[in-house]
Amino acid sequence: MNRIENAFKNKPIFMPYFPLGYPDLETSIDVIEALAKNGADLIEVGLSFSDPLADGPVIQKATQVALEQGVTVKKVIAAIAELRKRGVTIPLVLMGYMNPMLAYGLEKFVRDAKDAGADGFIIPDLPIEESDEFESVTNDLPLIRMLAPTSSSNRMEKIARNAKGFIYLVSVTGITGERKSLAEGLGDLIASVREHTSARVCVGFGIGTPEQAKEVGQMADGVIVGTACVRTIGTSQTPVETAKQFAAEFRSALR
């Protein structure tokens, strides 16, 4: 059983996102370790890019800081290896955009990421119609697909039918960011996706509080928290301690 499959043994799972390099590389490694050891079941590890189309202002700012701090694909991969050395055993899924991966070299990127201990990839700007080249080199690491409320029924069926790892279901239209309330019809949207797949369905975008996470967790297999995680930890004077508390609060809400 691989790490992603193992993570879903106790559903719903808590899946925070945090970019490596923010507010600096060493702190971000410490933060991700703290999240992993205090309640996160899977972590989406951010690979920063200068034009993050799907991200709201909080994550855009964080990834820009990471780039200014000199984070690179090579350093991100080395950080994944360091986290494994520190005893982090939960899945670490690299989330980023295509350009940095292409610049690094796709085959080399996938090979080096796998060797370091990465468990899969989420690439928001890689549509299924253009993913053959990437998937041809991923071997047994999943390219995790995203679905949105605007996805047509045909597209939803096509993506869901061949889903690997889990499906990242975007709960709202637009960019990442916390919302005051959950999207109307989220339960129906999740049910529509489940009609096409046996893969786990995990929901992200707009989830900012443990209470919202608990509500989503009653419908989905996993709850993805990005903006709230980055904002809360990134503005803290003690980011590692804040990460521990953040993970524990969301874990408690989902259990």
φ, ψ of residue 254 in degrees (nearest 5): -85, -15
CB 201 within 8 A of CB 171: no
**Active site residues per annotation:** 44, 55
If one counts every other C-beta atom within 10 angstroms of the C-beta of residue 12, the result is 23
CA distances from 170 to 9, 104, 146, 186, 255 (A): 23, 28, 7, 10, 22
